[in-house]
Amino acid sequence: MTCKSNKELQNIVNEVRPLTKEGMVADYIPALAKATKNDLSVAIYETNNNCLYAGSYLKNFTLQSISKVLVLALALQDRGVEYVFDRVGMEPTGDPFNSISKLETSIPSKPLNPMINAGALAVTNMIRGESEAEKWNRIISFVKCLSNKKNLSYDTEVAASELETAWLNRSLCYFMKQHNVIDGDIEELMMVYTKQCAIEMNCFELARIGAVFALNGLDPETGERLIPIHIARICKTFMVTCGMYNASGEFAIKVGIPAKSGVAGGILAVVPEKYGIGIFGPSLDKKGNSIAGIKLLEILAQQYDFSIF
Q: Which residues are catalytic?
A: 65, 68, 193, 245, 263
Report if residue 251 touches ligand GLN, rule: CB under 6 A.
no
Least Cβ distance, residue 95 to ligand GLN (angstroms): 12
Under the binding rule (CB under 6 A), the answer on residue 293 touching ligand GLN is no
Q: Identify which of residues 88 and 218 has a Cβ nearer to ligand GLN in the complex.
A: 88
Q: How far apart are CA 103 and CA 109, in angstroms?
A: 6
Residues 174-213: x/- map of binding to ligand GLN (CB under 6 A)? -----------------------x----------------
248 annotated ligand binder = no
Q: Is 118 in the site for ligand GLN (CB under 6 A)?
A: no
User: Is there binding between residue 117 and ligand GLN (CB under 6 A)?
Assistant: yes
Q: Which of 235, 240, 263, 300 binds ligand GLN (CB under 6 A)?
A: 263
162 touching ligand GLN, by CB under 6 A: yes
The nearest distance, CB 225 to ligand GLN, in angstroms, is 28
The verdict on whether residue 289 carries a ligand-binding annotation is no
Contacting residues for 32 by C-beta, under 8 A, at least 6 apart: 25, 26, 62, 158, 161, 263, 264, 282
Neighbours of 148 (CB within 10 A): 17
> Does residue 288 touch ligand GLN according to CB under 6 A?
yes
Task: Summarize as ranges the residues that interact with ligand GLN (CB under 6 A).
Answer: 64-65, 97-98, 117, 162, 169, 197, 262-263, 288
